[in-house]
Amino acid sequence: MRDVAVIGVGMNRWGELWKKSLRAIWTEAALEAVDDAGVDHVDAMYVGCMSSGLFVGQEHLGALLADQLSMGPIPGTRVESACASGGLAFRQAWMDVASGLHDIVLATGVEKMTDVDGGAATDALATAADQEYESYHGVTFPGLYGMMAHAHMHEHGTTRRQLSAVAVKNHRHGTLNPLAQFPMEVTAEQVEESVLVADPLRILDCSPITDGAAAVVLVPLEQASSLTKHPPVRIAASAHATDSLALHDRDDLAWLGSTERAASEAYAQAGITPENLSFCEVHDCFTIAEIMVIEALGIAPRGCGGSGAESGVTALGGKVPVNPSGGLKSKGHPVGATGIAQVREAVLQLRGQAGDRQVRDARWGLTQNMGGTGASTVVHIFERP
C-alpha cells in the first residue's frame, strides 16, 4: 500500500442555494479542488451522496458528474452510507490511490436538500434509520437522538446546560468560517429557550437542512511535491466500522460502538493516541452526538464528554479543539458532503491556512463522520509531514 496525501481542497458557501442545481454546486467545489491541487486531470472520482433521488429526483451521479466536469470517460462512483457518505467516499478514494490503481483521484460529496419541504426532507433522512422498527412507527432522528440524550443524562449525569455549551462553542467557531451556513453566536439561554423538537433537544441543538458540496484531490505522497504548490497532508489512517441500525438492538444507547471501533483501528494505523491530536472535526448532527463522539474517540473519559465544551477543553485555544470549522451545527450539514468538508478543514488546519480559526502548531488532525445514529462510522487521521 502506498502512502497517500491530499493536495487540493474545495468547498462552496453552504446554505439554502435556491438558484443553483445539484450539479452546479458540485462542479463549483470540484473545480476549486482541482485548481487548488494544481492538476489538469483526475484519473477517477468518487461522489458521496445520501439521497439525491429523494431530494432532487436524480440518481446515477457518477456518470452525470464525471461528464459535468468534462473528464469522462473516467470511472465515476457514487457512494452511500447515509450521513457518512462523504467520509466513505473519501475512504474509497484513499484505497484507490493506496492500492496503486490510480494516481490522481477526486473525492467529493454533495447534497441538495432544500428543494423539498420539511416533511419530505424528514422522510428522506429517515431512510437512514431502521424502516421496520423505527421509521414505520414515526420515530425521527431528533427523536432517536433525544432518546440517546436521555440515556446519557440518566447514566452519566450529563446536563441540559452541557448540551447547550456544545451549540454555543460550535456557533462561536462558525463565526470564523466564511463558508458556514449559520455563522452567528448563540447563548446557552437562547438554545434552551428555542423551540422544542424532541425532548430534551431543541431546534438549536440540531444541525440544519443544507445545500452544499465539497471536494478534495488525493495522490501518492511520493508524487505530491511535484504536483502541488501546497505542503501535502498525509493520510495517516483510514478506518470504517458499523453497528446495529436500530437503537433497540444496542447494549447501551449512550455509547457509539462503531466510532469506538473505527477510532481504535485508526489510532493503531497512525501509531498515535488521542493525546497526540491537535484538533478534530466530528459529527455533531445534534449536540448530544458531539458529547458521545468525543468519549468514543477517547478525547474524554466515558460519561464525561458533557464537560468538554462547558469547560473550554474542546474550544479553540483548549487542549483539543473540536469542530474548529463550526461543525455541522454552524457550518451546515448537506449530508453527503459533510465528511469531505471535514477533510477540507483538516487539510487547511495542517497547512496553516485556516485563518482566524487556525489551531496553533497543528500536527495531527482527526475526522469522524457517521451515518444514522452511529450505525456506520468513518474515522481518518491526518499528519503534517
Establish whether 285 is a catalytic residue: no
Q: Mapped to the 3 state alphabet, what secondary structure does 103-133 carry?
A: CCEEEEEEEECCCCCHHHHHHHHHCCCCCCC
- How many helices (H) and strands (E) the chain has is answered by 14, 11
Establish whether 154 is a catalytic residue: no
Residue 252 has a CB neighbour count (10 Å cut-off) of 12
User: Helices (DSSP H) in 257-297: which residue ranges?
Assistant: 257-270, 287-296
The C-alpha cell at 200 is 430534551
Residues 290 and 207 sit within 8 Å (Cβ to Cβ): no
Question: What distance, in Å, lies between the first and last C-alpha atoms of the chain?
Answer: 18
Rounded to the nearest angstrom, the gap between the alpha carbon of residue 253 and the centroid of all alpha carbons in its chain is 21
Strands 364-371 and 211-220, bridge-based pairing: unpaired
* C-alpha span between 100 and 254 (Å, rounded): 40
User: For 152, phi and psi rounded to 5 degrees?
Assistant: -65, -40
* C-alpha span between 357 and 330 (Å, rounded): 14
Sign of the Cα torsion 242, 247, 250, 251 reads positive
* C-alpha span between 70 and 192 (Å, rounded): 49
Q: Which residues pair with 105 in a beta bridge?
A: 44, 218
* C-alpha span between 151 and 303 (Å, rounded): 11
Catalytically annotated residue among 83, 206, 280, 285: 83
Catalytically annotated residue among 150, 173, 230, 333: 333
* C-alpha span between 211 and 341 (Å, rounded): 13
Residues 152 and 296 sit within 8 Å (Cβ to Cβ): no
Q: Where do we find the cell 467520509?
A: 87
Residues 318 and 357 sit within 8 Å (Cβ to Cβ): no
* C-alpha span between 286 and 336 (Å, rounded): 17
Give the residue numbers marked as catalytic: 83, 333
